[in-house]
Structure 1
Amino acid sequence: MKAIVFDTIGSPRDVLYLDDIPVPRIGDNEVLVRMVSASINPGDFLFIENLYPEPKKPVFPRQVAGNHGAGIVEQVGAGVGLQPGTLVAFSYYNSWAEYAVVPVQWLIPLPADYPLERAAQMVNPITAWDLLDDTRVQPAQWLAVTAGYSSVSTMVMQFARRRGINVLSVVRRVHDGLDLKTHGAAAVLDLSKLEAGIRETVLDLTGGAGLNGVIDNVGGPVSGELIRCLALGGQMVINGGMSAERYELHNFDVLLSGLQIKANIYRYFFSPPAEADGPILRRIIDVFGQPDFHVPVGGLHRLPSFELAVANSLDRADLGKQIFTM
């Protein structure tokens, strides 16, 4: 089978290559998934660069890249209740390939007609839903989201709009190809056109209300300024670190406003979906699959075109999600 693999730690631009490897064999409680789609995510690059904690580490030689995707159940091992032909999504390992073996407990069954480009990236709406919950922002309040063009950020905006929450989308510069206000942003902060300080600009854009929550995917000095825009009891939820820069805070920036700063770790990073998660997963799957939920797709690629797909993911987040189709 065709697969995108790597043999050494490094930049995905340098270490990935396309290879023919054997179709993996299943064991008890495992499923052979014939992959139909797989998303490219920042976390996939962290895996390739060996930046994830244990146990999510590459195993050489020919470690298959990719951690998220969707496919059709092809074969099942002993102890598996899923029927062949079932469409499933998962966050596990080895998704940038024509086949993957996945323990059954990691699989999320989907409706047979679910859009494949959405099935490929269930990690993103689940993350967006949890991020929004973690902020504790209430209807009519304001939430700032950095990296506004990222897939997770646009999903946060749409979930927030459905809850009556105002979102301030923070971007390095506005792109003509994607109107963030059509994706749920109540206002957009274009950092390339600042005419005043961050705090003054935030107060202006929010009609003087300020922020009750921040979801930060970037880091750097802007993040420090956004923290200082939070109202009493506000929440800063850290979901990424695209910037290599740091920010500084004084204890009083946190203490005198009763702020909380916390990290978001994908709920299925260390452990598979629990039975109790069923109702919330079905709700997320339903909302994410609705036609009026906008999911920008920047490109559909076959595995041999992985170099372009990876480059677009790294350099052109404004294009939308890059997805492999098999």
Structure 2
Amino acid sequence: MTIEIPERMRAVLLTGHGGPETLEYREDVPVPRPGPGAVLIRVGAAGINNTDINTRIGWYSKAVSGDTESAAGSLAAEDADASWTGRPLVFPRIQGADCCGEIVAVGAGVPEARIGERVLVASLQPAADAAHPWDFITFGSECDGAFAEYTTARSDQTHRISSALTDAELASFPCACSTAENLIARAGCNAEDTVLITGASGGVGSAAVQLCRRRGARVIAMAGRAKHDVIAGLGAERLLDRGEDPAAALGAESVSLVVDLVAGETFPALIACLKRGGRYATAGAIGGPITTLDVRDLYLKDLSFFGATAQAAETMPNLVAYIERGEIRPLVAGTFPLAEIHAAQALFLKKTFVGKLVLLP
């Protein structure tokens, strides 16, 4: 099967760490060619994620201590450690961790039968030269991603999907949902749990609400009051306002699992909410990465802490199966043409919506 592929494409190049001006929309970028073991994908849609913003502004640098919104306005990053891996990023870079598209060409060693497949790309991938099991890369960070008309990806990290959902709907899943699924699986979420989820209106948070409910857990979600109805519709049994003190609202030792995507000033109250033997799990800190822990709570209450970035091999295949069986649903708050990425990221930072924003090449 042969599909005509152009020489040039539209794409957004990240030219360095900084503000929106570092994102350069171009219409003359060479279309990449798939190397051995890789595929070329015509991108149908690409979701926007916190990691795109964090990487652009250098929020992962240890020189930054504030939340993502304040850091975006006053960059204090050191380029040497401004990527999430702690290694310098290579510029220019095409970002975009979420990709839904169609395979249009294959590299050496990949069956030509894959051409024509509709696929999702794993956002978190084992490094090709991984020295240990925790050595991962992010699609669109350590390699070029989906903010373009075409992208390449490793064949083994590109998953065929059969679904009636649109490209935009499917592109809302990979990064947020795989992050949430990996997080709650590592923390052992089950039907016996009462789970408190912070940042529940965001991509990962809203996915965590659905995925915890899928496992039979009782869900309490924290988000802005205007978003409560939508989150309740995803399965949250109780809603707390984002500014509310969860320990005061729920009582001490009231939940068995905290899924925290915010951190910041709320962290001590979240620990107070945990029952003895409870678990705290995190994959984000948009409210600020620096917080306070009374270590006596950790050991006297026999708590377990889980950080989750590197993903288990079954995470993406499981996620694809959930989507195909209709066990989780997409939550697309809006779409933008790729050329309007500045406007899309400006809206993203306002956090006035529930779910995901998606770019269409």
TM superposition score category, shorter chain reference:
0.7 to 0.9
> Structure 1 vs Structure 2: percent identity of aligned residues?
23
- CA root-mean-square deviation: 2.4
Q: What is the alpha-carbon distance in structure 1 between the residues aligned to residue 161 and residue 208 of structure 2?
A: 21
Alignment coverage as a number of residue pairs: 307
**CA-to-aligned-CA distance 1:54-104 (integer Å, 9 cap, x gap):** 4875322x3212122121111111100252111111122321000112222
Given candidates 14, 26, 32, the residue that maps to 2:21 is 14
Aligned to 1:318, what secondary structure does the other structure show? coil
In structure 2, relative to structure 1, the CA distance for the partners of 1:189 and 1:89 (3 Å cut) is: same
Q: Counterpart in 2 of 1:170?
A: 222
**What one-letter code is carried by the residue in structure 1 that aligns with 2:115?**
P
Distance 1:176 1:231 in 2: 28
Q: Which of these residues, 125, 129, 137, is aligned with residue 181 of structure 2?
A: 129
Distance 1:128 1:54 in 2: 19
Given the superposition, is the C-alpha separation of residues 101 and 318 from structure 1 closer, same or farther in structure 2, using an over 3 Å criterion?
A: same
- Compared CA separation, residues 202 and 111, structure 1 to 2 (3 A): same
CA distance in 1, matches of 2:16, 2:294: 41
Work out whether residues 115 and 289 of structure 1, in 8 Å CA contact, stay in contact via their aligned partners in 2: no
Question: Can you give the 5+ residue segments of structure 2 that lack an aligned partner in the other structure?
Answer: 1-8, 59-81, 124-138
* Equivalent in 82, 93, 102 of residue 153 of structure 2: 102
Confirm whether residue 202 of structure 1 aligns to residue 244 of structure 2.
no
Q: How high is the TM-score relative to the length of structure 2?
A: 0.78
Check if 1:315 corresponds to 2:354.
no
Change (3 A) 1:188 1:210: same
Q: 1:317 to 1:215 in 2, by over 3 A?
A: farther
Tell me the equivalent position of 2:115: 84
**How far off its partner does 1:163 sit?**
2.2
**Structure 1 runs of 4+ with >6 Å offset:** none
The alignment's TM-score, normalised by the length of structure 1, stands at 0.86
Q: Which residue number corresponds to residue 29 of structure 1?
A: 37
Counterparts in 2 of 1:191 and 1:30: CA distance versus 1, 3 Å: closer
2:63 aligns to what?
none
1:108 alignment partner AA: H
1:86-141 Cα offsets, whole Å, 9 max, x none, are: 11111223210001122222211212645322431322222222222223243243
Greater Cα shift, 40-49 or 129-138: 129-138
Tell me how far apart the structure 1 counterparts of residues 290 and 34 of structure 2 sit (CA, whole Å): 45
Q: Is the 8 A contact 1:220 1:245 kept in 2?
A: yes
| 1:47–1:200 Cα change, 3 Å | closer
2:340 counterpart residue number: 305
